[in-house]
Structure 1
Amino acid sequence: MMRALRRRLALVMTALTALVLAGALAVTWQFSQQQYTASAEALFAQNFTALCDRLAEAATVSDAWLAEQERASGCLLFLQDNGAALHYPGTSAAQNRAALETQLWQAAAGQLPPETLGSAAVRQSVTFAIDGPDHAPYRCAAALLPRGAHGDYLLVALAQDTRFLSRHGLATALQYAALWLAGTAVLLCLCFWLAGRALAPTEQALRRQKEFIAAASHELRSPLAVIKASLQALAEQDLPAARQAQFVRSSQAEADRMARLTDDLLLLASGDAGRLSVQLRPVAPDTLCIVLYDQFYPLARQSGHTLALELPEHPVPAIQADAERLKQLLAVLLHNALEHTPPGTAVTLRLCAGGAKAPLSIAVADNGPGIADADKAKIFERFYRADPSRTDKQHCGLGLAVAQELARLHGAALRVSDTPGGGATFTVQFPR
Structure 2
Amino acid sequence: MIKKLRRRLTLHYAALSGLVLLATCVSGFLLSARQQRAADELLFQTHLSDLTGRLQFDRRISGDWLARFEAENRLAVFLWDAGQPMKFEGAAWLPTDRRGALARAARESAFAAGFRPEDRPLRYAAAPAALEEDDLRFRGVAAAFPLEDGGWLHLLLLRDLAPQRAALKMLALRWTALFFAAGAALTLAGRWLSGRAAAPVRDSLRRQAEFVAAASHELRGPLAVITSSADLMAEGMQGPYLANICGEARRMAGLVEDLLTLAGAEAAAAPPAVPVEPDTLLIEAYDRFAPVCAQRGLRLCAALPPSPLPPVAGDPERLMQILSALLSNACAYTPPGGTISLSGRVQRGRVLLQVADTGPGVPGALREKIFERFYRAEPSRTDKAHYGLGLPVARQLAALYGGRLTAGEAEDGGALFTLSLPVPTCRTAPRRDEKHRAAGPGPGSGQPRSAR
Using structure 1 for the length normalisation, give the TM-score: 0.92
Alignment of 1:185 onto 2:184: yes
Unaligned runs of 5+ in 1: none
Partner Cα separation in structure 2 for residue 111 and residue 177 of structure 1: 38
> Match of 2:302?
309
Instruction: Say if 1:410 and 1:93 are closer, same or farther in 2 by CA, change over 3 A.
Output: closer
> Match of 1:56?
56
> Match of 2:100?
98
> Match of 1:108?
110
Q: Is the 8 A contact 2:115 2:125 kept in 1?
A: no
Aligned pair count? 420
Instruction: Say if 1:265 and 1:75 are closer, same or farther in 2 by CA, change over 3 A.
Output: same
Unaligned runs of 5+ in 2: 424-452
One-letter identity of the residue aligned with 2:281: L
| RCO higher in structure (CA 8 A, sep ≥6) | 2
> Match of 2:384?
393
One-letter identity of the residue aligned with 1:88: F
- Candidates 321, 325, 328, aligned match of 1:332: 325
Partner Cα separation in structure 2 for residue 35 and residue 373 of structure 1: 66
Q: Describe how 1:194-213 pairs up with structure 2 within 5 A.
A: 194-213=193-212
- Candidates 410, 414, 422, aligned match of 2:413: 422
One-letter identity of the residue aligned with 2:342: L
- Candidates 370, 379, 385, aligned match of 2:361: 370
**SS of match in other structure, 1:184:** helix
Partner Cα separation in structure 2 for residue 425 and residue 132 of structure 1: 92
RMSD: 1.9
Q: Deviations over 1:124-162 (max 9, x none)?
A: 111122432316432111111211253x11111111121
Alignment of 1:142 onto 2:142: yes
> Match of 1:343?
336
Q: Deviations over 1:167-214 (max 9, x none)?
A: 221211111111111111211222212222222222212211111111
* Percentage of pairs with the same residue: 39
Partner Cα separation in structure 2 for residue 74 and residue 384 of structure 1: 84
Q: Is the 8 A contact 1:363 1:426 kept in 2?
A: yes
**SS of match in other structure, 2:307:** coil
**SS of match in other structure, 1:368:** coil
Q: Is the 8 A contact 1:383 1:397 kept in 2?
A: yes
- Candidates 283, 290, 313, aligned match of 1:297: 290
> Match of 2:427?
none
Partner Cα separation in structure 1 for residue 70 and residue 274 of structure 2: 95
Instruction: Say if 1:123 and 1:387 are closer, same or farther in 2 by CA, change over 3 A.
Output: same
- Candidates 256, 259, 269, aligned match of 1:265: 259
Q: Is the 8 A contact 1:416 1:424 kept in 2?
A: yes
State the 1:112 CA deviation.
5.5
Q: Deviations over 1:349-374 (max 9, x none)?
A: 2233x27x563322211111111111
Instruction: Say if 1:279 and 1:33 are closer, same or farther in 2 by CA, change over 3 A.
Output: closer
**SS of match in other structure, 1:395:** coil
Q: Is the 8 A contact 1:48 1:158 kept in 2?
A: yes
Partner Cα separation in structure 2 for residue 31 and residue 312 of structure 1: 73
One-letter identity of the residue aligned with 1:200: A
State the 1:113 CA deviation.
5.5
Alignment of 1:250 onto 2:240: no
Partner Cα separation in structure 2 for residue 366 and residue 382 of structure 1: 22
One-letter identity of the residue aligned with 1:132: E
Partner Cα separation in structure 2 for residue 169 and residue 411 of structure 1: 62
One-letter identity of the residue aligned with 2:84: A
State the 1:249 CA deviation.
0.8
**SS of match in other structure, 2:422:** coil
Q: Is the 8 A contact 1:139 1:159 kept in 2?
A: yes
One-letter identity of the residue aligned with 1:95: D
State the 1:336 CA deviation.
0.9
Q: Is the 8 A contact 2:266 2:396 kept in 1?
A: no
Alignment of 1:166 onto 2:165: yes
Q: Is the 8 A contact 1:212 1:382 kept in 2?
A: yes
Partner Cα separation in structure 1 for residue 296 and residue 65 of structure 2: 118
> Match of 2:235?
236
